[in-house]
Amino acid sequence: MKTIVVTGASSGIGRAAVIRLAGAGYRVYGLARNYDKLKSITAENYTPFEFDITKPDKFGQVVKSILDSSDGIYGLVNNAGYVEPGAIEDLSMDNIRLQFETNFFGLVGFTKAILPYMMQRNEGRIINVSSIAGLISLPLVGAYCASKHALEAVCDALCMELWNTSIKVVNINPGVIDTNIHTITESKADMIEKSRFAGAYRKYLQAPRGLPASVVADYILQAMSDNPQPRYLIGSGREKLGTRLRPLLPDKMFYSQVSKRIHGQSN
């Protein structure tokens, strides 16, 4: 039975992936900070692990514990992450750094902690749950987009570096998914109300959510197959079209059209 590690497993895409993978016959380790939520997942061949992606000094210990209780790690689903909403002018540098610590540095560090064991076996799957935001930048989520763009660059490089091995790197790029990734804290709500973008923030938070997390979980399972695609773009037709049109549009035209959503007029 092949073993798969899923980070950010307590809710949303991670939780759906744990259930889908365990149901398909894999042994799954679900990692997240909220151990109570992890324990509430009922699935065969599933083990919860309390884990903080921003604590790299603990990575080795977690990996060792998993290896000691399994026959090796075949798959890693890098899903831990969150959206830090806010215009660049509204975000503190601490906000931006934590966004990168979680969405980028933690992911890269944990991948590096597991990769040597995959290399020893010359097999494995590294599945990175990125975002359409890694392919196109939008206002009010600039820090999130930046973290996902950085992730795309590293994952593309890793894919090519491992091309002549049996370790496959796969990027999953969902559009808007119906999860709690957009949760707003009390302090964030205060920032929103004081911002010149307050109206745009409210529209952003009230926008309808997208596809269910289970749809992404299905693609994650597909990425574990013998011959996965390097990338799976998931979302509405409009979202997919946007990523394909962006490189073709003049910058001024794109900026003008998108800016209407937050300013109400073209600049």
Per the rule left: phi > 0, alpha: psi between -120 and 50, beta: everything else, 29 is beta
DSSP for 97-157? Answer: HHHHIIIIIHHHHHHHHHHHHHHHHT-EEEEEE--GGGTS--TTBHHHHHHHHHHHHHHHH
Q: How far is CA 94 from CA 139, 143, 183, in A?
A: 19, 11, 18
Distance CA 242, CA 135 (A): 10
Per the rule left: phi > 0, alpha: psi between -120 and 50, beta: everything else, 140 is left
From 46, 144, 201, 204, the catalytic residue? 144
Which tokens is 236 given? 């509405």
* Residue bearing tokens 């073993």: 3
CB 243 within 8 A of CB 179: no
Sign of the torsion formed by the C-alpha atoms of 106, 167, 114 and 41 = positive
Distance CA 216, CA 112 (A): 24
Instruction: Give the distance between the most distant pair of CA atoms in the chain.
Output: 59
Active site annotation includes 144: yes
The helix, strand and coil proportions of the chain, stated in percent and rounded to the nearest 5, come to: 50, 15, 30
CB 56 within 8 A of CB 72: no
Residues with catalytic function: 144
